[in-house]
C-alpha cells in the first residue's frame, strides 16, 4: 500500500504526525522520496502537493493527503474519505490597502495575479465578473507593488504575509483543509482495508485528536 503526502512544508509535518499517530512507524525521509514503514506493508511517497492527485488517480498511490485547494485547482474528481481537521487555510482575493477596489464587482476589468488560475476563474465566472488572470508560480504578494496586478488571489493562514506586503483581504474564494483521498478502483475493490485508531499526537500537530476518530486504510 502507498500513501502520498507533501514532500515539504507545514502540511508535510502535519501529515507525518497524523500517520504516526495512526500507528504507522517510519523514519524521516531524508533525500529519499519513498520511505517504507517499519511495522506495516506501507510505503510513504513524498511528492509535490500539486502532483499527489495525479498519482492517486492513476493508482500509483492508494491514498493521498492533500489540501482541498489542490483538488479544486487540479479539477480532478477523486473520492474524499474524510477531512483531517488540520492544514486549515483560505484562498482569498486581496488588494492593496489603499486600493479603490472595495467589492468583488470592482474587479471587473482588473488584473489578478494567482497560483490558482482555474479556481479563481470558476469563482469569477460565478460572480459574473470578467478580469484578467495572471498565472504565477510564487511570490504572488509582490505583484501589486510591482504593478503587475491590481489584486492577488492566494492562500492565507494568519494573514500576516498579506499585511507585511500592504495587502488586505477582499473576499474568501475557498475554505481549505487537509483531506484524505483515494481512487475509484480502491473504493470499488477494497472499501475498507483496515481500521486504525488515531490516538492523537499532541497539540503541536495542529488538530484535536479524538478517541472516536478512525483512519480508514
CATH topology match: 2-87+177-216 vs 89-176: yes
Segments making up each domain of the chain, as ranges:
2-87+177-216, 89-176
**What fold, for 2-87+177-216?**
D-Maltodextrin-Binding Protein; domain 2 (3.40.190)
Task: Report, as an integer, the average pLDDT of 116-130.
Answer: 97
For domain 89-176, give its CATH number from 3.40.50.300, 1.10.3720.10, 3.40.190.10, 3.40.50.410.
Answer: 3.40.190.10
Q: Which residues pair with residue 6 across a beta bridge?
A: 47
pLDDT digits (tens, 9 = 90+) for 68-94: 999 999 998 899 999 999 999 999 999
Mean pLDDT, the chain, integer: 86
- pLDDT, one tens digit per residue, over 9-25 is 889 999 999 999 989 99
Long-range contact pairs involving 36-42 (C-beta distance under 8 Å, separation at least 24): 40/1, 41/1, 42/1, 42/2, 42/3, 42/217
Q: Is 0.85 topped by the overall pTM?
A: no
In DSSP terms, 3 is beta-bridged to 44, 63
Amino acid at each position: 500500500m502507498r500513501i502520498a503526502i507533501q514532500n515539504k512544508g507545514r502540511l508535510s509535518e502535519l501529515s507525518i504526525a497524523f500517520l504516526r499517530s495512526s500507528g504507522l512507524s517510519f523514519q524521516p525521509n531524508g533525500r529519499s522520496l519513498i520511505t517504507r514503514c517499519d511495522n506495516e506493508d506501507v510505503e510513504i511517497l513524498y511528492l509535490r502537493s500539486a502532483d499527489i492527485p495525479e498519482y492517486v488517480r492513476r493508482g500509483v498511490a492508494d491514498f493521498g493527503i492533500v489540501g482541498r485547494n489542490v483538488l479544486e485547482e487540479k479539477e480532478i474528481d477523486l473520492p474524499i474519505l474524510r477531512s483531517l481537521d488540520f492544514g486549515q487555510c483560505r484562498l482569498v482575493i486581496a488588494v492593496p490597502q489603499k486600493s479603490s477596489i472595495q467589492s468583488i464587482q470592482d474587479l471587473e476589468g482588473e488584473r489578478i495575479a494567482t497560483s490558482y488560475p482555474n479556481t479563481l476563474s470558476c469563482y469569477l465566472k460565478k460572480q459574473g465578473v470578467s478580469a484578467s488572470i495572471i498565472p504565477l508560480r510564487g511570490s504572488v504578494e509582490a505583484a501589486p507593488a510591482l504593478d503587475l496586478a491590481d489584486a492577488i488571489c492566494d492562500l492565507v493562514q494568519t494573514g500576516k504575509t498579506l499585511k507585511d506586503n500592504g495587502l488586505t483581504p477582499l473576499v474568501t474564494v475557498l475554505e481549505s483543509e487537509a483531506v484524505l483521498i483515494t481512487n475509484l478502483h480502491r473504493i470499488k475493490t477494497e472499501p475498507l482495508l483496515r481500521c486504525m485508531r488515531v490516538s492523537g499526537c499532541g497539540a503541536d500537530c495542529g488538530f484535536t485528536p479524538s478517541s472516536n476518530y478512525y483512519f480508514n486504510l
